Structure 1
């Protein structure tokens, strides 16, 4: 009886999802029914003959996870725990080590460490693999199991064994768990240049960027020479916050467009009048960890010639995920559209190419450490333009500007070469004559 009821429910769902419009679609319905019947046969066999008893809820969740995993890396089913974690992260606080991780061939791979968290301070890098937790091998387990083991009571410690491509041997890092309160934006002034470090795009990011711009003006007693917008290792976040951040630097024009399955399914967002940055020079810093919302900002400022993009090619996540609540405690995170920059570029796979490629020379491993990007993920969406960036990345000629070693830079007092280079670039761009002309023609930051 339970099987019949479950099958009936699944078939009703299948009918609801398949519009009966033509005889061809009618044939598709029949095929769907046969596939659903095969699924139920497998379900019955597993629950009755598997070596250990497995509850139905576990089997059904596994089936849902498998269905979504066959689509793309960013579509997933969120149970009550996952759903709560996602809402907590977008609200700006969560518990953990400050790592964004994924599962690759049974191994836990670091996508990016969040700035000012235990993982970031310990020097963990995007592309590192976590093989052991407290000496216990985690290979072959689920991502949820690994995340659960890394979480715990604030103040307690956990030892991670790291395999870093480019290094001969694994190494151990002991981290102290703490409550991770995401400060989406930090700012400082370096040599009359305002530096705005955006770590994530949560609900507070847009407002925090505008506040940072105002605070920088007050700190320098007028207007700075310009601004550095640091989007490195920013995994993205909320689309509306990416639009707000872009809008803070733009006076007009399209910021981003979103295109769904149908040709007519297009949405566009535009900047409102008023440039909070007074038209002053802007440098945008990106790297392989800059993804999604961070790429929207970089692409918008680059296309409008509003910002000079420096650093390394970004991650290349050009898809939009919509959160579709199923119950009060579960939801579906589904890829529903691709986004495009104002000039019509899709950053999917290819990412944002910097106007000036600046390596992070202060990182001693930067040459050997591989960069994890969207194109490296299994089942990633294909860029419809079929852009091949391998030739662009294959640069064998040494740039005379970038020949210093990490040791030489450390002796010179340079801890972050890319940021130092960007600040000096603003200082050259923002000479007094340039600043006066730019400020005189700007409309200001009021709206």
Structure 2
């Protein structure tokens, strides 16, 4: 546990303000984009001395990152050791370059994140995500486990049979996994007479999908996993742009910020800070990044920050589960919805094998939702039960239709083939 994470809130703030001044001098000297931004808005970086002063700098959006991608680079391309891209879920993928120093930072980030979840040198982790396809996370996990001194088995995505063969051959203690894939492993185990209690798996570092409700209780997906397989579930949240993870500790009360790696703001629609415990958009400033540091980058993720002390001894800020993406917010029949809420409702039905949520404008220009489901036994009874459940949970009922599994799988296949897509926004 880094000492700064155990420091007092005021000490953490002072530490971050010093790091902020360092990164502002760095981008002012090396980033074409931020030099231009500071000049255009007549910003003197010497006036930015505190975290509160950050509001004097305009935010950076994903659109700007896409449009001026190369202008964010602070080093010659000859210094880039690794190139990765974002998933492109909300637009064209952004290229992120990493220097050798950035890879060291990435390894440090994941090492202390794994340690936050209680993983140590004696553990072996099974990696069930890809390390190729320009995917930062898979590489980050590998580098982090290596720095931690633990063991890792790079199995890759999918193939439950191979995953179970690896579990019994190498006896890993933790899985790095997308939560819904745990359900596929459970289904395969049940179908093939595999005892889950004999697996030796202690826990799972869960990525890409929310496990918890806003009060940190397990959501439907998390509860479903735990009801079959009694392992510890740890949520971790990150993005390619921030090169930093927020991972749960043993208290499982939100993902801890690493103050030496990232500054956090939570802003409302007018870019004003929200009160503690209120939802807003996560805005980050990276610290210690050499190739492509970002100042006040709007992630598009709607979250709630928590600053009360944690029983693990860390005093760093914690992030609650992601409510949704700002661009995917839906105003539907007077109700504000985010796709994760619909995911949770659909996860209550074991009959649903796969689904995709389409968001589009109807003929009068307002938001409309169409959910396409794949099930082995489509019926009017199932359709009515799902609609009633939506009315009960979310107060609205979107359009729902049964479609062949092959059609759903094709729709869920992302352009880069790195992770399945469950939401298709047709409004742009």
TM-score by length of 1: 0.28
TM-score by length of 2: 0.29
